[in-house]
Amino acid sequence: MDEKRRAKIAVLGSINMDLMIRSAKLPLPGETVIAETKVENPGGKGANQAVAAARMGAEVKMIGCVGDDSFAEELLQNLTAEGIDTRYVTRKTNTTSGVAVVMVVASGENAILVVPGANGLVGSVELEQARQVICDSDVLLMQLEVPVETVIAAAAIAREAGVPVILDPAPAPAHFPAELLDVDLICPNQSEAAALTGKPLAALEDVIAAIPALAEQGPRQILVTMANQGAVLFDGESVEIIPPFPIQAIDSTAAGDAFAAGLAVKLSEQATLREAALFASAAGAIAASGAGAQTAMPDREQIETLITKQ
């Protein structure tokens, strides 16, 4: 890609306000735990990935919905401040914006509860408004915090226009419709890959063995992230292990979103899948070493510096 030309990425996905709660441990069923701190920050998988891609230098257009509550304007202003085009974000009346409660413990592990709100209303109206944006993009990047049928319809628009589709299949639904995975690349984590295959995938060897079952479901290429074990790459022909970047994890909330954005940006720049995976892994590692979601997203210089040091 011409160095003067920025990657053009359309992100279809959720826009949330995150309520981040830190505590010494996650509560068990029926247990009350006294937390340490509470912070509100813009989030949502779609918005997180849009912010990450923008910080990596891409030209990003966000497609989604917010509500008519007090969070809506703050969420839109936040995206605009990151240089993201929000003209394709609809404000829905008589509903709230999406809200996520993120519980984080000292090890960096987290548990998340999501109220979809306006995200659950992303549909045909938004797709028609953004049809040309999708068709003009280098990559369409999506997740599953908006209706599955909307994701499928958007992928069909992109496919007809010859635009590559990257799907981060998170959160994993109880059932994956067959057409949902008819995309160019999926980037599940190991629990999402386990949901796709119906088998536990604890080790790299488990994921490698599961690649044929994943590929049978439709995606042309696959990248399964395995936290501190690295990632497993399938380029349509062969399998390769992408080693992890050594970092001290503080909060893994945004790691997967940074990873997905890194893939989208580098593939838009005509990188190989392996090159994109290394860039994405570095982005995810840096994000996990910071606190919060969008606040932890790295810029391109940080990512390239880490890769150089590896």
List pLDDT tens digits, range 200-221: 998 999 999 999 999 999 999 9
Instruction: Please give the pLDDT value at position 2.
Output: 47
Q: Which residue has the higher pLDDT, 41 or 264?
A: 264
Q: pLDDT band at residue 4, thresholds of 50, 70 and 90? A: low
Average pLDDT on 3-24 reads 90
Q: Percent of the chain scored above 70 by pLDDT?
A: 99
Instruction: Please give the pLDDT value at position 61.
Output: 99
Give per-residue pLDDT as tens, 223-236.
999 988 999 999 99
Nearest Cα residue to 292 out of 12, 23, 48: 48
Average pLDDT on 58-71 reads 98
Question: Residue 48 class from Cβ within 10 Å (0-12 exposed, 13-18 middle, 19+ buried)?
Answer: buried
Separation between Cα atoms, residue 290 and residue 298, nearest integer Å:
9
In this predicted structure, the answer to whether residue 49 has a pLDDT above a threshold of 70 is yes
Instruction: Please give the pLDDT value at position 125.
Output: 95
Separation between Cα atoms, residue 74 and residue 41, nearest integer Å:
10
Nearest Cα residue to 265 out of 19, 72, 51, 109: 51
Instruction: Please give the pLDDT value at position 175.
Output: 86
Instruction: Please give the pLDDT value at position 109.
Output: 83
Is residue 85 part of the annotated active site? The answer reads no
Which single residue is written with the structure tokens 């202003």? 77
Instruction: Please give the pLDDT value at position 290.
Output: 86
- For helices 148-161 and 124-136, the axis angle rounded to 10 degrees is 30
Q: pLDDT band at residue 278, thresholds of 50, 70 and 90? A: very high
Angstrom CA distances, 263 to 186, 187, 211, stand at 10, 9, 19
In this predicted structure, the answer to whether residue 43 has a pLDDT above a threshold of 70 is yes
> Of the residues 138, 168, 257, 299, which is catalytic?
257
Q: pLDDT band at residue 122, thresholds of 50, 70 and 90? A: very high
**Token reading at 160:** 């007809």
Domain map of the chain by residue range?
A: 8-309
Which single residue is written with the structure tokens 């989604």? 64
What is the overall mean pLDDT for the chain? 94
Please name the residues in contact with 114: beta carbons below 8 A apart, sequence gap of 6 or more. 14, 16, 98, 99, 100, 101, 145, 171
Question: Any idea what the Cα angle at residue 230 is, between residues 159 and 200, rounded to 5°?
Answer: 80
Fold of 8-309: UDP-N-acetylmuramoyl-L-alanine:D-glutamate ligase (3.40.1190)
Residue 27, number of CB atoms within 10 A of its CB: 12
Q: pLDDT band at residue 3, thresholds of 50, 70 and 90? A: low
Instruction: Please give the pLDDT value at position 192.
Output: 95
Bridge partners of residue 100, in order along the sequence: 18, 114
Per the CB < 8 A criterion, the answer to whether 255 and 108 are in contact is no
